[in-house]
Amino acid sequence: MQYKRSSALFAEASKYIPGGVNSPVRAFKAVGGTPIFVKEAKGAYLYDEDGNKLIDYIASWGPMILGHAFQPVVDAVVEKTKQGTSFGTPTEIETEIAKLAVSMVPNIDKIRFVNSGTEACMSAVRLARGFTGKEKIIKFSGCYHGHSDSFLIQAGSGAVTFGSPNSPGVTQGTAKDTLLADYNNLESVKALIEANKGEIATIILEPVPGNMGCIIPKKGFLEGLRALCDENGILLIFDEVMTGFRLAKGGAQEFLNIKADIVTFGKVIGGGLPVGAFAARDEIMNHLAPLGPVYQAGTLSGNPLAMAAGLTMLKYLDQNEIVFKSLEDKTSYLHDGLERVLSETDLTYTINRLGSMISVHFTDEVYDFKTSAKGNNETFKKFFHGMLNEGVYLPPSAFETWFLNDALTYEDLDDTIAAVEKVVGEL
């Protein structure tokens, strides 16, 4: 495939935008080469500036669960735009989407909308601190909760992709309040709670991490965290930016049957527009300004275009729960195909999958950050570029998860499996 125009556009972008991108993973640094510039997308496909058609396994990193340019969402945004694009006042549609989200997700009474997953997680932690009157938080190595200061400590996703899971610019004062545990290791959490008795406000995690590749929670791990939180007056935050409205209507809480105290959202909830949200039961949410003392605000929060996209997406999912089953079936089919092909090779690999999140690691047994980091990146690079050459667009980092969308057909999946067979045959 030719990527001449994308390369030229990247060179031009690099003159004016740091690294040529507005989010680091997009720069292809982890896999080499230059990024694809996308011109348009429809359904399961991306069309790039060189005229290539690619089967997309990123889905804008999750939001496009029904495929790109899903017509009802496009129509809703176009219609809403005609009425004005931002008012900085309350609008009826905010209540409509809030009411629907609260009805879909377990254990929440109120929800507040923000503009990104980063903002949602940052606000959720502030709320947890304000509610409990405690300052320390526990996060897990390799989990990524956006780029706010408290989370850029052993962060996953782009941060670890570029080898700087701890970012310069985060003060020691902030870093000292973020304690690190190992995912799937309850003992590491117990030890932190013991050493910081009465000081921990919250444990925050991706219930199904997707930023060190996809990681599956071991039996009893999340249940154990819930119990530790209850025993120690700690709030459990589920960062459902990736899993929310994807694993099930009620996200990971429903899919895995575990109750969180605060839940954060992004991606699917905005239907592809910049939306994040955080939600909890009344007694916690009522601590937020203007009801309570914990401040949080935003000019574009609850933006009418974003709310129109999000509401249309959530309504569709609410009325068509079959989508979750369909996605699960498709991802399981892909999983089986990958397993069949990879098992015939000499490669060491692990395929992790839950619902419609899946990732291939070129190492054995991946269940936390350390085991994920053992993946053979040279093999991944060749695999990534081989797949791209076959017209399949995978996340350009071994630490990211593949997200399926329901516009993918079984023919697309067969083509993908055939591409994998060809590519691994040449590795």
Give the residue numbers annotated as catalytic, written as ranges.
144, 239, 267
CB 279 within 8 A of CB 105: yes
25 vs 65, beta carbon nearer ligand HOZ? 25
Transcribe 240-255 into DSSP letters.
Answer: -TTTTTTTSTTHHHHH
Reported for 298-301, long-range contacts at CB under 8 A and 24+ positions apart, including other chains, are 298/114, 298/115, 298/119, 299/86, 299/88, 300/86, 300/115, 300/274, 301/112, 301/113, 301/114, 301/115
Tokens describing residue 412 = 């697309």
Tell me which residues touch ligand HOZ (CB under 6 A).
23, 25-26, 61, 157-158, 211, 400
Nearest approach, Cβ of 26 to ligand HOZ (angstroms)?
Answer: 5
Nearest approach, Cβ of 61 to ligand HOZ (angstroms)?
Answer: 4
Nearest approach, Cβ of 22 to ligand HOZ (angstroms)?
Answer: 8
Nearest approach, Cβ of 208 to ligand HOZ (angstroms)?
Answer: 13
How far is Cα 354 from Cα 221, in angstroms, rounded to an integer? 16
Angle between helix 304-319 and 322-342 (nearest 10): 80
215 vs 284, beta carbon nearer ligand HOZ? 215
Q: Please report how many Cα atoms fall inside a 13 Å half-sphere around the Cα of residue 424, on the Cβ side.
A: 20
Radius of gyration of the chain (CA): 21
Nearest approach, Cβ of 266 to ligand HOZ (angstroms)?
Answer: 10
130 vs 244, beta carbon nearer ligand HOZ? 244
Count the neighbouring beta carbons within 10 Å of the beta carbon of residue 345: 13
Tokens describing residue 183 = 């995912």
- What value, to the nearest 5°, has the Cα angle with vertex 354 and ends 43 and 328? 45
Count the neighbouring beta carbons within 10 Å of the beta carbon of residue 105: 25
Nearest approach, Cβ of 325 to ligand HOZ (angstroms)?
Answer: 25
How far is Cα 396 from Cα 30, in angstroms, rounded to an integer? 7
- Dihedrals phi, psi of 358, to nearest 5 degrees: -150, 150
How far is Cα 262 from Cα 288, in angstroms, rounded to an integer? 13
157 vs 178, beta carbon nearer ligand HOZ? 157
**Alpha helices, DSSP H, located in 4-152:** 4-16, 71-81, 92-104, 117-132
132 vs 352, beta carbon nearer ligand HOZ? 352
26 vs 287, beta carbon nearer ligand HOZ? 26
Q: For residue 426, give the 3-state DSSP assignment.
A: coil
Nearest approach, Cβ of 27 to ligand HOZ (angstroms)?
Answer: 9
Nearest approach, Cβ of 21 to ligand HOZ (angstroms)?
Answer: 7
Count the neighbouring beta carbons within 10 Å of the beta carbon of residue 226: 16
25 vs 279, beta carbon nearer ligand HOZ? 25
| Cα→Cα distances 343→332, 346, 353, 425, Å | 16, 8, 16, 12
158 vs 244, beta carbon nearer ligand HOZ? 158
Q: Which residue is nearest to ligand HOZ (CB)?
A: 23
DSSP strand E in 141-191: where? 178-181
